[in-house]
Amino acid sequence: MPKVGKYLQRKMTNEQLPTTKEKFIFGRHKSSRSKKSKVLNFIVLAVAVFILSGYVYTKMVSVFQNSIDLRTFSSANITSYLKGFLRPKPITNSLETSQKLVEEESSVIDVVDKVSPSVVSIVVKRVGFDFFTGPVVSEDGIGTGFIVDSSGLIVTNSHVVNDLGNEYSVILSNGTTYEVTDIHLDEPTDLALIQVTATNLPVVEFGDSEKVKVGQTAIAIGNALGQFSNTVTRGVVSGVARELTASGGFGDLKTYESVLQTDAALNPGNSGGPLLNSAGQVIGINVATTRGADNIGFAIPVNTLKPLLETFLTEGRIVRPFIGVSYSIITKELATVRDLPRGVFVSRVLPDSPADKAGIKRGDILTTFNGLQLDESNTLSKLVRDSKVGTSVKIELVRDNKTQSVNVVLEETPDLFQ
């Protein structure tokens, strides 16, 4: 009874304290679990140390084999090497990469925003006849141009506006339309200056096509397919000083010298539009693309335009210097195979031309022009074009295996050859 009373007393007073025996039992169980936990912790730690030791050993062997000169090895070297491979490796910051991409895209966007207001779509008005409805007037986009003078002077290709019997108009990027009042063609360069009646128009900025490098960014803006005005394409300059023979819609052939090549997509309708560098400067006038090949387009260097524009702005007409010969370029390969001097072979001399007056004859090989070697980069037509009317130029030539020089005074191109 006393034992039962004691149990009841403990229960009623909430003194749930274990007996000495119970303490021993509980303590033994607790001590056993603690020992097991310590053993597991020790095993985990040992495994981690083993793995880390293996990694350190591998790294040290690699470093010793590839980087350490055993003759100068010391404890200081060990400290240096340990710091080297234990130091956390830098993690490539994806934010920096994204920032670079954003900056590249931003530069193109800036160019487009800057130049697009100066780029125009050229539209031709055609009048046809329908048997049921009678005369039908249609307007078709045929090319692109860009504004070079705020008073409404626009540059395009001559093949875009060479049908003087048609009526042409231009459409600005904001949708404003102007009728073309005057057209001035320079077919040898395939350039044209057209005039509209306007004021305070935004103009483009010229670059220097002589400084263009292969691989630099090229941006084209144009009226692609004659339907999609101010279409923007981007690529690189794929080549410089190319020679190109292009055919027109009627099978006529035209040769372009020293043109720029680009992989920026050019389509019918881009003709006459600007090819730009990453600063938004015009470096070329888009002129031709290829059929059956992707991303091969060509542009006339902007430096070809500059002297024409300069004389037009001062005299109100296109004035072009003239030498009066037909020729073929003697390339480096041809010169080697045929044992000929580098230069141009004169196939024809026009009567009473500057060349004729200076004594140049058919069969002569012209080698230099004012000290510059005549070749694929410095063609005769390019150097003449870059000169001014009335300039006297010194030309060296080879005739009958003898070298001599003549002075040629360049004249204005006759209307017959305009």
Kindly list the catalytic residues: 159, 190, 271
> What is the β-pairing status of strands 205-206 and 281-289?
parallel
Torsion angles phi and psi, residue 149, rounded to 5: -145, 135
- Amino acid (one-letter) located at 117: P
- CA–CA distances in Å: residue 346 to residues 93, 112, 209, 320, 363: 62, 45, 28, 21, 5
Q: Are 271 and 143 in contact (CB under 8 A)?
A: yes
Task: Write the secondary structure of the chain as one string of H (helix), E (strand) and C (coil).
Answer: CHHHHHHHHHHHCCCCCCCHHHHHHHHHHHHHHHHHHHHHHHHHHHHHHHHHHHHHHHHHHHHHHHHCCHHHCCHHHHHHHHHHHHCCCCCCCHHHHHHHHHHHHHHHHHHHHHHHHHEEEEEEEEEEEECCCEEEEEEEEEEEEEEEECCCEEEECCCCCCCCCCEEEEECCCCCEEEEEEEEEECCCCEEEEEECCCCCCCCEECCHHHCCCCCEEEEEEEECCCEEEEEEEEEEEEEEEEEEEECCCCCEEEEEEEEEECCCCCCCCCCCEEECCCCEEEEEEEEECCCCCCCEEEEEHHHHHHHHHHHHHHCCCCCEECCEEEEEECHHHHHHHCCCCEEEEEEECCCCHHHHHCCCCCCEEEEECCEECCCCCCHHHHHHCCCCCCEEEEEEEECCEEEEEEEECEECCHHHC
